[in-house]
């Protein structure tokens, strides 16, 4: 029987295993699956801690339903009745600018009235349909794209904080086409963002009218009753026999038509032979373990940098907060010169995240903007965060709970040239049929992207093994 080894038990590795099993069952074929996870528990960045009645996420607080992938996976796993939809007020998002919070506009009318951008800044955004697409096919940075199409103010106050919110990244360095492929596509296809918005809105109305029903799920932030860890726990539970925890794959070699994995479990070392390998570990880890197999591939993988992020979770008595926490949270533009990237008002998004009468805030620190802050010791980091929360939200109360979750290499950065790097990686992989890479380092960092890429990866693995 063929053996497929998966390295890494985060959502990418676990979802790949799920889709592999599904594909094998659909083809009435069998193959042995084996999953190696270096840590003592599965899930990677998807981790939930519970203390004093608070439910705190280390990383993601959920997924958006504007893409169907995570929702479909949850339903396939029988998790429909554990899905938790965010409160309606989570649609309200804020940007802190010039001493106060500005609500992000959801409609063109609200945008025209919003004071986040000056009148000139708003007029510049309205001129967007008249900006010609670029002549060269150069890989443009997020910042260059935003300045060109929307103007400097929109870049500094909207796009820069949004990029920090998703990638914890620097828009001057990140590639628009790799980080936000949909936006890149809208410009290429429709000639501009406002033109695309109008056209898509018209198409949606037409389709809805024709179908006589709603256009399907909107972009609602969704999680699970006990936090995002529920998803990876249920997935891991389905692979209790195949999943080997505390088992780090040190190297992947190739001998006699098979891959040879050197695995370290505690102090013990063993070898695992496999017909196909999916490396679902972060790019730097993939680079390290593939370096003996393919030096060029390994070097390119190690070129993908990661931004460090620290997440400070603060629990308060709700009555002690000067702020109503009536929304999703806020982002802070770089030009404000503050020392946090933004904060999520978790117990407003999902009320069950804090006990009755209490509130939970999670504050993001570091990123590519201030990487050194994400490495501060816990007491210094908490002092910094409390100072910023006082300055930005006027909250001086003593938290009833304070925790910091560190992500030393938190979010991969798709720098300008990322697309070309992926092409070189594909060229290298062509010499290694049945070796596959799948993680958030390549084609999207959201949970939806990871789940979609896992399904596509499983299809490639089965095709290469001539199982599909």
Ligand X SMILES: Cc1cc2nc3c(=O)[nH]c(=O)nc-3n(C[C@H](O)[C@H](O)[C@H](O)COP(=O)(O)OP(=O)(O)OC[C@H]3O[C@@H](n4cnc5c(N)ncnc54)[C@H](O)[C@@H]3O)c2cc1C
Q: Is 61 in the site for ligand X (CB under 6 A)?
A: yes
Q: Which of 56, 120, 17 minimizes the C-alpha distance to 349?
A: 56
User: HSE-up of 341 (CA within 13 Å, CB side)?
Assistant: 30
Task: Retrieve residue 228's tokens.
Answer: 């995002």
Q: Strand, helix or coil at 348?
A: helix
Q: What are 356's two structure tokens?
A: 């009755």
The reply to whether 437 sits near ligand X by the rule CB under 6 A is no
Q: By CB under 6 A, is residue 7 in contact with ligand X? A: yes
- Tell whether residue 84 is a contact of ligand X (CB under 6 A): no
Any idea what the Cα angle at residue 164 is, between residues 156 and 61, rounded to 5°? Answer: 140
- With contacts defined by CB under 6 A, name the span among 85-93, 134-142, 294-302, 446-454 that binds ligand X: 446-454
Q: Is residue 4 near ligand X by the rule CB under 6 A? A: no
Q: How many residues does the chain have?
A: 468
Q: Taking a C-beta distance cutoff of 8 angstroms, is the pair 347, 321 a contact? A: no
Interface residue with ligand X among 69, 93, 353, 407 (CB under 6 A) is 407
| 370: contact with ligand X by CB under 6 A | no
Check if the beta carbon of residue 145 is closer than 8 Å to that of residue 154. Answer: no
> CA triplet 4, 5, 11: central angle to 5 degrees?
110
Q: Which of 19, 63, 96, 167 contacts ligand X by CB under 6 A?
A: 63
Instruction: By CB under 6 A, tell whether 227 contacts ligand X.
Output: no
Position among 96, 358, 440, 451 found at the interface with ligand X (CB under 6 A): 440
- Which parts of 34-53 interact with ligand X (CB under 6 A)? 36-39, 44-46
Q: Under rule CB under 6 A, how many of the chain's residues touch ligand X?
A: 37
User: Smallest distance, Å, CB 52 to ligand X?
Assistant: 21
Binding residue (CB under 6 A) for ligand X from 4, 155, 404, 445: 445
In the complex with ligand X, which residue's Cβ is closer, 159 or 451? Answer: 451
Is residue 136 within 8 Å of 188, Cβ to Cβ?
no
- Kindly give, in sequence order, each residue whose CB lies less than 8 Å from that of residue 228, ignoring residues fewer than 6 positions away: 46, 47, 48, 57, 59, 60, 61, 62, 447
Distance of alpha carbon 14 from alpha carbon 78, whole angstroms:
16
12 binds ligand X (CB under 6 A): yes
Segment interacting with ligand X, rule: CB under 6 A, options 93-101, 125-133, 345-353, 407-415: 407-415
CB 61 within 8 A of CB 221: yes
Dist. CA 140–CA 230, nearest whole Å: 38
Q: Among residues 59 and 171, whose Cβ is nearest to ligand X? A: 59
Nearest-CA neighbor of 353 among 295, 310, 424, 401?
Answer: 401
CB-wise, 61 or 97, nearer to ligand X?
Answer: 61
Could you tell me if 70 and 448 are in contact, meaning their C-beta atoms sit under 8 angstroms apart? yes
Decide whether 153 or 259 has the Cβ nearer to ligand X: 259
Q: Is 450 in the site for ligand X (CB under 6 A)?
A: yes
Instruction: Tally Cβ neighbours within 10 Å of residue 265.
Output: 14
Q: Which stretch binds ligand X (CB under 6 A): 278-286, 298-306, 320-328, 333-341?
A: 278-286
| Minimum distance from residue 446 beta carbon to ligand X (Å) | 4
Verify binding: residue 311, ligand X, rule CB under 6 A: yes
The answer to whether residue 65 forms part of the interface with ligand X (CB under 6 A) is: no
Tell me the window of 56-64, 151-159, 270-278, 330-338 that interacts with ligand X (CB under 6 A).
56-64
Write the interaction track for ligand X spanning residues 240-259; mark x where CB under 6 A is met and - where it is not. --------xx----------
Kindly give the pairing relationship between strand 93-97 and strand 329-331.
parallel
Q: Which residues contribute to the site for ligand X (CB under 6 A)?
A: 7-13, 36-39, 44-46, 59-63, 248-249, 280-282, 285, 289, 309, 311, 407, 410-411, 439-440, 445-447, 450
């Amino acid at each position: 029987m063929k053996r497929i080894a998966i390295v890494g038990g985060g959502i990418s590795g676990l979802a790949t295993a799920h889709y592999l099993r599904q594909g094998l069952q659909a083809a009435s074929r069998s193959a042995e699956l084996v999953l190696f996870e270096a840590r003592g528990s599965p899930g990677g960045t998807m981790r939930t801690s519970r203390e004093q009645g608070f439910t705190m996420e280390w990383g993601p607080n959920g997924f958006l339903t504007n893409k169907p992938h995570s929702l479909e996976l949850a339903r396939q796993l029988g998790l429909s009745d554990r899905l938790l939809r965010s409160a309606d007020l989570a649609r309200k998002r804020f940007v802190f600018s010039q001493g106060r919070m500005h609500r992000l506009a959801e409609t063109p009318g609200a945008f025209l009235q919003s004071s986040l951008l000056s009148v000139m800044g708003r007029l510049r955004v309205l001129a967007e349909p008249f900006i010609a697409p670029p002549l060269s096919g150069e890989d443009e940075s997020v910042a260059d794209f935003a300045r060109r199409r929307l103007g400097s103010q929109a870049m500094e106050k909207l796009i820069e904080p949004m990029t920090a919110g998703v990638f914890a990244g620097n828009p001057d360095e990140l590639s628009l086409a790799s980080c936000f492929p949909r936006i890149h596509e809208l410009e290429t296809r429709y000639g501009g963002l406002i033109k695309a918005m109008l056209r898509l809105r018209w198409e949606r109305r037409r389709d809805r009218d024709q179908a006589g029903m709603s256009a399907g799920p909107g972009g609602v932030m969704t999680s699970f009753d006990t936090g995002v860890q529920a998803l990876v726990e249920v997935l891991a539970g389905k692979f209790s026999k195949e999943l080997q925890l505390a088992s780090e794959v040190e190297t992947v070699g190739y001998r006699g038509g098979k891959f040879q994995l050197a695995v370290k479990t505690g102090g013990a070392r063993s070898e695992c032979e496999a017909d196909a390998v999916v490396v679902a570990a972060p790019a730097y880890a993939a680079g390290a373990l593939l370096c003996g197999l393919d030096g060029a591939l390994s070097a390119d993988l190690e070129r993908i940098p990661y931004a460090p992020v620290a997440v400070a979770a603060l629990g308060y008595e709700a009555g002690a907060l000067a702020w109503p926490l009536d929304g999703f949270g806020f982002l802070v533009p770089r030009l404000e010169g503050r020392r946090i990237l933004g904060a999520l008002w978790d117990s407003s998004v999902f009320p069950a995240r804090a006990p009755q009468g209490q509130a939970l805030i999670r504050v993001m620190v570091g990123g590519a903007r201030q990487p050194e802050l994400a490495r501060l010791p816990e007491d210094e980091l908490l002092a910094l965060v409390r100072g910023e929360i006082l300055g930005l939200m006027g909250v001086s109360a003593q938290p009833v709970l304070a925790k910091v979750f560190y992500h030393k290499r938190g979010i991969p950065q798709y720098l300008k040239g990322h697309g070309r790097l992926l092409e070189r990686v594909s060229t290298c992989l062509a010499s290694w049929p049945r070796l596959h890479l799948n993680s958030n380092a390549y084609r999207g960092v959201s949970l939806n992207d990871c789940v979609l890429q896992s399904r596509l990866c499983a299809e490639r693995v089965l095709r290469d093994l001539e199982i599909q």
